[in-house]
Amino acid sequence: MPAAPRFSICFVCSGNICRSPMAEVVFRSLAADAGLADRVDVTSAGTGDWHVGEHADPRAVDTLAAHGYDGSEHRARQFDATWFHRLDLVVALDRSHERILKSAVTNDIDRSKVQLLRSFEHPRSDSLDVPDPYYSDHAYFGAVLGMIERADRALLAQLAPALRSSPQPQGKP
């Protein structure tokens, strides 16, 4: 019997060293806490290639650690449009990423996979963008992490019923 498919999600920001790695780490942790870690594949990437292969920004790693998350193993990579066929959801951290991602697809199915992270919040905030903390200080990384945590919780709350009702991956009780 083949393994049940896992829901595949990729968080995308500019360089994949601040926002998207934080969103990836937080979402993975929330999924694990909800008993859904075996139902999802969570990754992240950047729209640009500036930081490919680098660790996450030390301020992102420190902020994650201060809130009980481990982002120390992250390595930046650039999003590749050929990934769309294997992804169920591509989560953009701001509108510029959303535009870049949607311009890279050639069909409505892949275009519909691209969603803004904060669009999952209820009620929605005035701004759907998660601001880039790169040119700011540690405190701002903390504020951005708070936005990401709220939006990731809302996203997981929307996905959880479908994830729980999907067949268990092979070899799992």
The catalytic residues are 13, 19, 132
Q: What is the distance between the alpha carbons of residues 102 and 150, in angstroms, rounded to a whole number?
A: 24
Please name every residue paired with 41 in a beta bridge, in sequence order, or none if there are none: 8
Checking DSSP bridges between strand 40-46 and strand 7-13, what pairing results, if any?
parallel
Backbone angles phi, psi at 6, to 5 degrees: -100, 145
Q: What is the distance between the alpha carbons of residues 142 and 79, in angstroms, rounded to a whole number?
A: 25
For 65, the token pair is 């650690």
| Cβ proximity of 84 and 90 under 8 Å | yes
Would you tell me how many other CB atoms lie within 10 Å of the CB of residue 65? 12
